[in-house]
Amino acid sequence: MWQSLKVESVDVTFGHRLWWVDAFIGDNERGNPAVVVLLEHPLADDELQRIAFELGVSETAFVRRVGDQWSLRWFTPTVEVELCGHATLATLHVLLNELNAPGGEFYFATRAGVLSGRRLGKGLLGVDLPRAYLEPLNPSVLNDTLGVVHEIYQAGPSSVLAIVEDYDTLCGLSVDPMSLFLVPSSIVIAACHGGPDVDVSIRVFAPRLGLAEDPVTGSAMCAVAPWWVEKVGSPTVTVRQASTRGGVMYARLFEKNVEVAGLARTFFSGEIRQ
C-alpha cells in the first residue's frame, strides 16, 4: 500500500520535529495555533502530556506513520482530548506543505475514529469530522453563565450549543470560567445568526479542558452545521469565531460527517530535544 502511494519518500528519521501552525486564518484573523509534532517512535502518554504542557498552546498534535494511515492524538496543556479540528487541519497542512507527503486523501487513526483530509481549491484544506446529533436541553443547565439564550442543545456526548440573540450579544459575553466549569459539558459553544461576512458567529469555552476560551474550534462545526441545516436548510455554512485571535471556517454537512475547511500557515518549525 505504502509503496503504491510512495509514502516511503516522507522522511521521518530526523527525530521529533515540530511545526507551529496557525489554523483557520483569514484576512484579519490569526487563527488558532497548534503545534504538530512528528514522532519518530511512540512515546509514553505522560511524556506526550509533558511536551504539550511545555509547548503551552491550546492543542498539540502528535502524528506518527502507522501502516497505511497516520496515528494522530491531541493534547491540551492538561489533558488528552477525543477530537480536535484545528490541530487536525494543522497536521494535514504539515503533511502536504512541509513534508510534501504524496497522496490525494489522508487518513488519521484517532480516538474519534478514522478521520480523513484533503487539499481543496483556493488554498483551502478540508478535514472530515463526525457530525453531532442535537437534542434540546433546558436552558437552566447553563446556570445563567451565558445570560439569555434562545435555544440550547446537547451536541454529542461532550458539547453544548447555545444560541444567543445576536452578534453584539455574543461579543459582549463576559464568562466566568469557574461558573462555566459547573456546566456538565467539556465544551460550551455560544452561537448566533450572522456576523461580519459570515452566516454564523461563535465563541467556544472549555474550562474543563484547561481552556477558558478557545481561539478557533473546528470541532464546533460538528454541532453548528447540523443546527444550520435544521434552521435554514443549507448544507453549507460560513462561520466566524469571534475570539481575540479570530478565525474563519467553512463547513459542509454530510450524512455522517462534517467537512470543515480553512486556511493554515506555518509560523515556525524546530525539533524537540530531550
Q: What is the CATH number of the domain that holds 79?
A: 3.10.310.10
Of residues 59, 80, 135, 213, which has the active-site annotation? Answer: 59
Domain that holds residue 37: 2-127+261-271
Q: How far is CA 22 from the centre of its chain?
A: 11
> Per-residue pLDDT tens for 216-265?
999 999 999 999 999 999 999 999 999 999 999 999 999 999 999 999 99
The model's pTM is 0.91
260 near 218, Cβ under 8 Å? yes
Do residues 138 and 243 both lie within one domain? yes
Do residues 160 and 143 both lie within one domain? yes
Do residues 106 and 151 both lie within one domain? no
Do residues 10 and 101 both lie within one domain? yes
Do residues 116 and 189 both lie within one domain? no
Do residues 177 and 156 both lie within one domain? yes
Banded pLDDT at 182 (limits 50, 70, 90): confident
Average pLDDT on 36-53 reads 95
pLDDT over 70, % of the chain: 94
40 is known as an active-site residue = no
Q: How many CA atoms lie within 13 A of 154 on its CB side?
A: 12
Do residues 120 and 43 both lie within one domain? yes
Q: Can you tell me the distance from the alpha carbon of 25 to that of 208, in angstroms, rounded to the nearest whole number?
A: 26
Question: Domain total for the chain?
Answer: 2
Q: Look at residue 5 and tell me whether its pLDDT is greater than 60.
A: no
160 near 152, Cβ under 8 Å? yes
All three cell numbers of 8: 516511503
Do residues 87 and 170 both lie within one domain? no
Do residues 70 and 23 both lie within one domain? yes
Phi first, then psi, for residue 147 (nearest 5°) are: 70, -145
Do residues 33 and 103 both lie within one domain? yes
> Per-residue pLDDT tens for 7-39?
555 554 445 899 999 999 999 999 999 999 999
Between 46 and 8, whose confidence is greater? 46
Q: Can you tell me the distance from the alpha carbon of 249 to that of 192, in angstroms, rounded to the nearest whole number?
A: 15
